[in-house]
Structure 1
Amino acid sequence: MPAPPSAALLVAVVASLAAPLPAVAQVRGVELRTPRAFGYFQGDLVQVQAEIRTDPGFSLQRPSLPKPGPVAYWLDLKEVRAEEGRADDGSTVIRLHLTYQDFYVALDARTLEVPGFPVTVESAGSNGSTTAVAQVPAWKIGVSPLREVQPERRDDPAEYLRPDGRAPRLDPQPALASAGIFLGLAVLALLLLAYDRAWWIFGRRRGRPFALALKALRRARRRSEGEALYRDALLALHRGLDETDGRRVLADDLPDFLARHPVFRPQESGLATFFAASRLAFFGRDTAGASQRLPLPEVEGLLRRLGAVERSA
């Protein structure tokens, strides 16, 4: 049974609505801007900006941009940068920053044409994507020769070259004065550091016996080893304690020593271990056992910590 005319019309309308409508892509305009259109010499870089305006929703297909390389026998494209943005009216603004290099050896002033190129823009929608081609037009630059074609004849070929320009004479005194000031500051900083670290002539001043003891241990490393070096390390620490307190300091004197010099109280446990190892080494004649109780690296570490305390005191 044939369908009524109204049903056939409804099917046709639905089918027409379901079919995607072709989107019209519109490139609103292309504008070129360049710092200057003339006065280029061989080897100069030529900058140009191409501004492309399209309908809202379009974006640049970057694979369609020209690739850096030779454009003509006299022209290379060195760099291409692209930026995309929005104008106040909602249109898409695509800016291409192009850098060319001119290799034309001009014998006279003349105008050359830089070739144009197409770029593709795309708008993606629910019914698919729409593309359009924006044509960047060709434009012209004026090139000039580096020298005359037939310069005036000279007897001496060197006269064809212009004389060197005179360089201004610079006064070296400000630079020398600044260098002297900075050198003086550097020497002063070095002296302050040497004083703080008890180096050189400051090594024997009062108040740094542990620094001297650490130096004595370093000297002992060069002339002895083994048990002899270990005993030298213990003696160096003993001398540091004695000179700090101004008297002999034995194991039983440790509490009084810390009472007179409370800044060393955080090292009490290390000093107690040191006195125990010293008694074992010198009175028990068991240097090996003493070095197991307090190894040589720990003796040196204790000296370093005591030296740091006396520097900060």
Structure 2
Amino acid sequence: MRPLLAGLLILLAAASATAQPRTVEVRVPRTFGYFLGDLVEAIVEVETEPGFTIQAASLPQPGPVTYWLDLRRVETETAGTRHRLHLTYQTFYAAIDARTLEVPGFPLVLTSADTHGATTAPIQVPAWNLGVSPIREVQPARRADPAEYLRPDGQGPRLDPAPPRTAALALAALALPALLLLARDRAWWPFRPRPARAFAEAARRLRSLARQPDSEAGYREGLLALHRGLDAKAGSRLLADDLDAFLGRHPAYRPQADNLARFFAASRLAFFGNAVAEARCRMPLAEAEATARQLAVAERAA
């Protein structure tokens, strides 16, 4: 048993020796001239034997390191047997004079796994020094007036307001026609089209025909003018059978229901019965013009 135990101890010692890193090095861009709140970049390089890596659980975690130093970021990079840690610290030491502080080291664990199991070994990243500097004088020169400790206001250049004012006026002059074009395109006020007044147009046409000599053609044209007004208001051809539905949709014209019924009856006689004289008796052109005028009044009120 003793030779066997001795052999195991020799193997464990050899494995532990193999796990030891070749080199551990800490590098920083500079070790001095840092002020309160500065970020400090540091690189830790670990050279190991082939097959060994840094155990992720052993990496330092971001957070406070000491009362004056925080670890902000930890990133790892591996290239063969070289393992690199990129560390970002931030110093909060309010120095009153230039001095050197020690950044604590930290332990890491190397690990290697094979068919016979896993081999681990601890390593220590050494501490390193950081030089910090004050941001103000410890004992400034004594002055009689405390205001003399303040720096004077800077002398800014005197600006001429004329060019910006001219440019603003020119841009405003260009913006006005552009706004007018946009209002016209979007039908904003005052370019918003007024709603068409179909009965007002029919009333004007009937009034014009009433001043002309009486004729069958003029009478039919007057009836057509009122028909076109009704069609435009209804949005489609309006027949006598559609009158009740039209008045239901437009109750403002309901007081003219009887006159409109007589109008459709006269129109049927004039255009389909070839009885213009009888149609005139049922609804003279003046009465048709009066009906159109009353419809126009209701249209304007609506």
Bucket of the pairwise TM-score, normalised by the shorter protein = 0.5 to 0.7
Question: In the alignment, is the contact (CA less than 8 A) between 2:44 and 2:85 conserved in 1?
Answer: yes
Structure 2, unaligned runs of 5 or more: 202-224, 251-302
SS in 1 for 2:155: coil
Structure 1: distance between partners of 2:75 and 2:47: 13
Which of these residues, 175, 182, 185, is aligned with residue 193 of structure 1? 182
1:97/1:69 Cα in 2 relative to 1: closer, same or farther (>3 Å)? closer
Instruction: State the TM-score, normalizing by the size of structure 2.
Output: 0.53
Counterpart of 1:146 in structure 2 is: 135
Counterpart of 1:114 in structure 2 is: 103
Structure 2: distance between partners of 1:180 and 1:35: 54
Structure 2: distance between partners of 1:78 and 1:288: 81
Amino acid at match of 1:99: Y
SS in 2 for 1:194: helix
Structure 2: distance between partners of 1:44 and 1:184: 52
Counterpart of 1:31 in structure 2 is: 25
Amino acid at match of 1:77: D
Question: How far is 1:82 from its partner?
Answer: 0.6
Figure out how many residues of one structure are paired with residues of the other and give that number. 218
SS in 2 for 1:150: coil
- The answer to whether structure 1 residue 159 and structure 2 residue 148 are counterparts is yes
Counterpart of 2:292 in structure 1 is: none
- The answer to whether structure 1 residue 102 and structure 2 residue 96 are counterparts is no
- The answer to whether structure 1 residue 283 and structure 2 residue 272 are counterparts is no
Structure 2: distance between partners of 1:28 and 1:249: 106
Which of these residues, 125, 129, 144, is aligned with residue 136 of structure 1? 125
1:280/1:110 Cα in 2 relative to 1: closer, same or farther (>3 Å)? farther
Question: How far is 1:250 from its partner?
Answer: 5.5
Question: How far is 1:197 from its partner?
Answer: 1.7
Question: How far is 1:190 from its partner?
Answer: 3.4
Structure 1: distance between partners of 2:66 and 2:94: 10
Question: How far is 1:161 from its partner?
Answer: 2.9
The C-alpha deviation readout for 1:124-181, integer Å capped at 9, x for no partner, is 4444333343432211122223333333222122223333443445566666566566
Question: In the alignment, is the contact (CA less than 8 A) between 2:35 and 2:91 conserved in 1?
Answer: no
- The answer to whether structure 1 residue 70 and structure 2 residue 64 are counterparts is yes
Amino acid at match of 2:75: A
Question: In the alignment, is the contact (CA less than 8 A) between 2:72 and 2:90 conserved in 1?
Answer: yes
Amino acid at match of 2:149: Y
Counterpart of 1:79 in structure 2 is: 72
Structure 1, unaligned runs of 5 or more: 1-11, 205-211, 217-234, 240-246, 255-272, 291-313
Structure 2: distance between partners of 1:182 and 1:124: 74
The C-alpha deviation readout for 1:68-125, integer Å capped at 9, x for no partner, is 333223x221402213242xxx33432322222232432x322111111123343444
Structure 2: distance between partners of 1:181 and 1:49: 58
Structure 2: distance between partners of 1:62 and 1:151: 50
Question: In the alignment, is the contact (CA less than 8 A) between 2:47 and 2:81 conserved in 1?
Answer: yes
Amino acid at match of 1:145: P
Question: In the alignment, is the contact (CA less than 8 A) between 2:43 and 2:84 conserved in 1?
Answer: no
Amino acid at match of 1:70: P
Q: CA RMSD in A?
A: 4.6
Question: In the alignment, is the contact (CA less than 8 A) between 1:69 and 1:78 conserved in 2?
Answer: yes
Instruction: State the TM-score, normalizing by the size of structure 1.
Output: 0.52
Question: How far is 1:58 from its partner?
Answer: 4.2
Structure 2: distance between partners of 1:92 and 1:179: 63
Structure 2: distance between partners of 1:61 and 1:280: 95
1:142/1:181 Cα in 2 relative to 1: closer, same or farther (>3 Å)? farther
1:122/1:191 Cα in 2 relative to 1: closer, same or farther (>3 Å)? farther
1:250/1:189 Cα in 2 relative to 1: closer, same or farther (>3 Å)? same
Whose Rg is larger? 2
Counterpart of 2:222 in structure 1 is: none
SS in 1 for 2:192: helix
Structure 1: distance between partners of 2:54 and 2:227: 85
1:162/1:289 Cα in 2 relative to 1: closer, same or farther (>3 Å)? closer
1:1-313 map, 5 Å: 22=15, 24-73=18-67, 75-86=68-79, 90-106=80-96, 108-169=97-158, 187=176, 189-204=178-193, 212-213=194-195, 274-275=235-236, 283-285=243-245, 287-288=247-248
Amino acid at match of 2:129: K
Question: How far is 1:286 from its partner?
Answer: 5.3
Amino acid at match of 2:23: G
1:275/1:170 Cα in 2 relative to 1: closer, same or farther (>3 Å)? same
